[in-house]
Amino acid sequence: MTVTAPRPLAVPQAPGRLPLLGHVHRLLTRPREFFNSLRGSGDIVTIGLGPARAYVINDPALVHRILTKDVRKLDKGVAYEKSAPFLGDGLLNSSEPTHMAHRRLVQPAFHHHRIAEYAHHMREAADEVVSRWQDGSRLELDQEIHSFAVTVVCRALFSSELGDKVADEVEASLPVLLKGVTRRIAFPVGWLEKLPTPSNRHFEQARERLGDTLGGVIREYQRRGGDEADLMALLLSARGEEGRPGLSDEQIHDEAMALFLGGVETARDVLSWTCHLLSEHPEVQRKLAEEVDGVLGGGRLLDHEAVTLLPYTRQILTEAMRLYPPAWLLTRRTITDLDLAGHRIPAGRNVLFSLYAIQRDPSVYARPDSFEPERWAGRAGGELPRTSYLPFGAGNRGCIGEPFAWEEMVVFLATAARRWTLEAAPGERIRPVRSPMLQPKRLPMIVRARADRP
């Protein structure tokens, strides 16, 4: 007797699909609310991206499975494909087996002792930014933080002044590139990207400028001989099997690009939202200042050890990343047929999941939309919910820069809180931009020198 496998369950289609456009109108207008609304439609649903179809995974346990157990059945999909023209084939979007081989080469740059070494760049960069502030002045705080995040990654990569040289170009180009990628993801139709429109031209120019600047700086670094303590030295000295050079010049270029894209906008976004939330919650801001004063008040240096003594600061960041995960929408594409919870997703299909929706699920988080750092009290990193808290992704495609990010974010927040109180600028509403990154459009803010500082 032959036993036939049960037929896969049909995957429901999300309501509101328009001919040709699919759900693009909803993705372009209120994308996060759209994904939140899909949560009630089943574990897996399909949506239309223009004429193409994508599978949205709503169940956090299935998302976690895709990121861990089934990781080899999918590659990174549409968001990364659209970033490929400037990202190249670095860690963020390379496929196996290249990805794991390169991840092993780059990983030592993020070991504990390395992070402790980068801490002084972080402290210096944070000091430079907050020392420019004037009591009572109104700042575009997201830009201040962007400049900090760019400087930190560039100085960790190139510890000489070459870091600052590349920083200016990264600061100017990344936002243009991300804007271009957003359009390309929402309407993934190849010929539109080739039209000579102003936005396509700006995208191309930014891509070329950033690529040329980075290439020039890497060549200059190789000519001079670098500093052993920076990330570029590690990339250059990485060795593959039998002592062969681990990475070609082009691969080094692409890995550096992946670190810029992975590391700059994300940290900027988390810190920006955190500052916004602090300005709205003076009691949290007061407790933060108390904790920071308690550790640094006697003139102690904000080094790696001091960073470990600031648990409330970490709780604040944990909660800010729950509410505003910068990489809020992750994309994948199936390489083979994928069987999930009785459904079958055929090979070659786009798969999407919203970390924003997962992290605001009312069945997991009480008062899911409110900012309550206290909900994380007493929970160390390892005790965060495994499937319902994923701001850094998971598995071997999870964020390689997570320890770096924690260090720089705690350093920035502690440095700012030691000297300044943040106040919302009157009459301004802080809203997110439309982007695959969850970032505030603008963050005007008033900074006040702390009078109560011990």
Which residues of this chain interact with ligand HEM, rule CB under 6 A? Answer: 76, 91-92, 103, 153, 258-259, 262-263, 266-267, 270, 326-327, 330, 391-393, 397-401, 404-405
Judging by DSSP bridges, how do beta strands 52-57 and 444-449 pair with one another?
A: unpaired
The distance of closest approach from Cβ of residue 108 to ligand HEM in the complex, given in angstroms and rounded to an integer, is: 14
Task: Name the minimum Å distance from CB 205 to ligand HEM.
Answer: 25
Q: Which of residues 226 and 421 has its CB atom nearest to ligand HEM in the complex?
A: 226
What is the closest distance, in whole angstroms, from the C-beta atom of residue 8 to ligand HEM in the complex? 26
Least distance CB 397 / ligand HEM (angstroms): 4
Residues forming a β-bridge with 432:
440
Q: Nearer to ligand HEM by C-beta: 153 or 323?
A: 153
Which 8-state DSSP code applies to residue 10? P
Q: Quote the least distance from Cβ 398 to ligand HEM, whole Å.
A: 6
C-beta closer to ligand HEM: residue 125 or 270: 270
Please tell me the distance from the alpha carbon of residue 69 to that of residue 65, in angstroms, as a whole number. 5
The CB-of-354 to ligand HEM minimum distance in angstroms stands at: 12
Shorter beta-carbon distance to ligand HEM: residue 204 or 361: 361
Nearer to ligand HEM, 349 or 446 (CB): 349
CB-nearer residue toward ligand HEM: 153 or 166:
153
Q: In this chain, which residue has its C-beta nearest to ligand HEM?
A: 401
Q: C-beta of 446: minimal distance to ligand HEM in Å?
A: 25
Are 271 and 145 within 8 A, CB to CB?
A: yes
Q: How far is the CB of 355 from ligand HEM (least distance, A)?
A: 7
**Considering beta carbons, is residue 26 or 99 the nearer one to ligand HEM?**
99
Nearer to ligand HEM, 89 or 169 (CB): 89
